[in-house]
Structure 1
């Protein structure tokens, strides 16, 4: 059994980690941290977890990391850097924040508004998109979880860029996401009366921080600068991301490139050609569904990817990476069936 600590356990991704690890046969949660909710039980903060025998929430400074094998860091952006820098070198870490996703310190400063405070760790971190960095993740001490929007777009596009079957200057990502992706902090625009019965675009015109990940990953794959058009939209739904990606290329070649890339991947499901996915079919699971549809305009196609932002987009991805880091079968604790309806 491996001893696990979750820092930032009072947020949505922290609660999702607890839900997943609770039935994991090789992991035991020995420490949970929170800031404002320190001193409370997880059952009080998240009543759906009250049946579990869990340690109480404490401040990070009150945790003894001596017996901890791996830490999940589910803290707000720009918080993880100093916290992770202070952890014992013997502890493996999966960070769910944005603090170590970007390799270039200048890119980090551009997208997150300030200099990075732990450059040595930034250089050490492995990007946590499991299906494409599996071998590096196995040997890593620090893995940087991807952005949930960034992960969804990459599942749709990475094999196509690598195979050279699309026009790299004609990529549009139109993405819809559930509100839990914005975190659990109180925000006026996320109140029920402000959000329900409508949908709206945000970070329009290339302002979204996950574009830093698209720029980094797609450009590295292509061997030249790639800039995609990306517009996210906020939906009045709790969970789920649906990315509709418009590309220039032959639909059959696009489908074959995706099918070949994901043939042996346990969590990526290619739908039959012409079918497209729905967020309701991946809810609460670690699965990604991908569909390809031929556009009515010759030489163009639509690739649609769906995943659960809290599971495969964040906490499920984190557990998948932790399994690799601890030499546990990668799918352990993650083969649960999606919740429907």
Structure 2
């Protein structure tokens, strides 16, 4: 099979580095472009020595110019760019015939007004929102396969949405009682100079941030509302924890009246029985970030608190893997009719 010519736009950040790690050795990918304004002209291995001797590691970073990217013959581009920046390049690449998998927030929301509310500026390409597919493969595999524009989900949302979707769809829990507590590794903040993210500031400490209205709430509530068939508003409490990568989320909600708690386990098992990357640990299963980092897996366990009538959902994933680069590659595989696990079979 002819390998698919692929570009990574914004390849020098943490998510870009994860995309490089996966795509440089993907059996059906030929990496033909990697962009970085800061590193333009340098070969990939000079910026990331870990990739020395990897296929295409001699490829030099280029400026993020749409014409230059299209000239490489790329059929698809992964965008690992900040929100507000990705949309302009996405439009230009779509106009040049490329498929686009955007890892920013620019196309995750269906409503431009909600985007403006949560991101503090008008949406840069509202006319493209109806074209984009929210790239959660376990929920929208068929739509992803037919789309030219994928909005890859955020890291926190993935860890919250996947455990909740089947329970909301089957009316097993009360949507008005959902509370999600999440803890993320520091790489989730991006590769940037920020005093609050220095080692001494983060090490041996845990802190909440982004309260009470973290930006990811917008896509979380959008997707949960679609699953429930009614408006869902939740409490979301994100925290920074002193590890490089990984997300652990504990989500609680009241069990709906008359529902057997064991229905929760049956629902999760049925929803993800054929999923390559969702591992359901069952009642009393406690996900651990060390078991999912550097992979595309999300582990989900659950418990029931009879004292409070609340279901406790536990999930763990790699914020750079299933929460970003790995999930984007999973969508890429669906877009091009490949095995869903291609290039992602690492444990």
Classify the TM-score, shorter chain.
Answer: over 0.9
State which of 6, 9, 15 in structure 2 corresponds to 1:7: 9
Equivalent pair of 1:276/1:293 in contact (CA under 8 Å):
no
How much does 1:50 deviate? 2.1
Q: Is 2:70 the counterpart of 1:68?
A: no
Q: Is 2:246 the counterpart of 1:246?
A: no
What pairs with 1:134-145 in structure 2 (closer than 5 Å)? 134-145=141-152
Hey, what does 1:218 align to over in structure 2? 224
How much does 1:327 deviate? 1.3
Q: Is 2:241 the counterpart of 1:235?
A: yes
Which deviates more from structure 2 when the two are superposed, residues 229-238 or residues 57-66?
57-66
Hey, what does 1:28 align to over in structure 2? 30
Q: TM-score, normalised by structure 1?
A: 0.96
Q: TM-score, normalised by structure 2?
A: 0.94
Hey, what does 1:281 align to over in structure 2? 291
Distance, in Å, in 1 between the alignment partners of 2:143 and 2:227 is 16
Equivalent pair of 2:7/2:69 in contact (CA under 8 Å):
no
Q: Is 2:63 the counterpart of 1:59?
A: yes
What pairs with 1:1-341 in structure 2 (closer than 5 Å)? 1-52=3-54, 53-54=56-57, 55-61=59-65, 63-66=68-71, 67-87=73-93, 88-205=95-212, 207-249=213-255, 250-297=260-307, 299-337=309-347
Which deviates more from structure 2 when the two are superposed, residues 118-127 or residues 183-192?
118-127
- For residues 266-323 of structure 1, give each alpha carbon's deviation from its aligned partner in whole angstroms, at most 9, with x where no partner exists: 1100113212111001110011100011225152221101000101110000000011
Equivalent pair of 2:320/2:326 in contact (CA under 8 Å):
yes
Distance, in Å, in 1 between the alignment partners of 2:310 and 2:116 is 36
- For residues 102-152 of structure 1, give each alpha carbon's deviation from its aligned partner in whole angstroms, at most 9, with x where no partner exists: 010100110111111212222211001111011100000000011100111
SS in 1 for 2:130: helix
Distance, in Å, in 2 between the alignment partners of 1:196 and 1:109 is 34
Structure 2: state its 5+ residue gaps. none
SS in 1 for 2:188: helix
SS in 1 for 2:301: strand
Distance, in Å, in 2 between the alignment partners of 1:170 and 1:332 is 38
SS in 1 for 2:311: strand
